[in-house]
Amino acid sequence: MNKKLFTLLILAILAIVSIGSVYALDLGSDDSSQTSSIGKVTIDGIDFNIPDGFEEFITNNTKQYNRTVDGVPYFSTIKNYDNDNDSISIAVSKNPTHKATQDTAKGVGGDLETINGIEGYLDYHPKNVTKFKSGNLTFTLTIPPYYSFAYSQDDKLVVIVTTDKDYLSEVLIEEPSFFGIRF
């Protein structure tokens, strides 16, 4: 099983979906009175808090991804939220035969950090500009900078991608623990 390939695949999906959700919909609506408060959401049994002003990105509502990496099946549930300038994507992935651990989260990359009592791996991804050429046409894809935080909980890999690091502390809900053991 190639854990690093799997985690890189999840990160790539999250980056593309979350960044695209921020920039894909600008329908010219200037109804700034439509701020919502989603609050607590549960994705595959894990609770998160969505900050005020964010709305669920309907086009990418809840995606179920079933992938096989090196013959091992992975199932991911991804939800995306955005406001006028920022986005938050949350992926919860599980494998029916392999439990995700902190080593799995480490494979996503980043430095070990604790946010709201949750130990995981925080990584910063700088702006990336890629040019593609097809015949006489040249396309430029610009991915703005974003942060990712990966950790394991309940034998699942959780990856949160956001355009603003401060949102991580708002999204993560500290779990009750007793001497470092989560309930």
Q: In the prediction, which pLDDT does 92 show?
A: 92
Distance between CA atoms of 52 and 38, rounded to whole angstroms?
Answer: 7
Contact 118, 175 (CB under 8 A): yes
CATH value at residue 127: 3.40.1000
**Residue 93 lies inside a defined structural domain of this protein:** yes
DSSP 48-105: EEEPTT-EE-GGGSEEEEEEEETTEEEEEEEEEEE-SS-EEEEEEEE-SSS---HHHH
Contact 141, 87 (CB under 8 A): no
Distance between CA atoms of 35 and 52, rounded to whole angstroms?
Answer: 7
* Residues 2-7, mean pLDDT to the nearest whole number: 49
* Residues 97-112, mean pLDDT to the nearest whole number: 89
19 three-class SS: helix
pLDDT: is 148 or 33 the higher one?
148
**Residue 28 lies inside a defined structural domain of this protein:** no
Q: In the prediction, which pLDDT does 20 show?
A: 47
**Domain coverage including residue 85:** 3-23+37-175
**Residue 31 lies inside a defined structural domain of this protein:** no
pTM above 0.85, yes or no: no
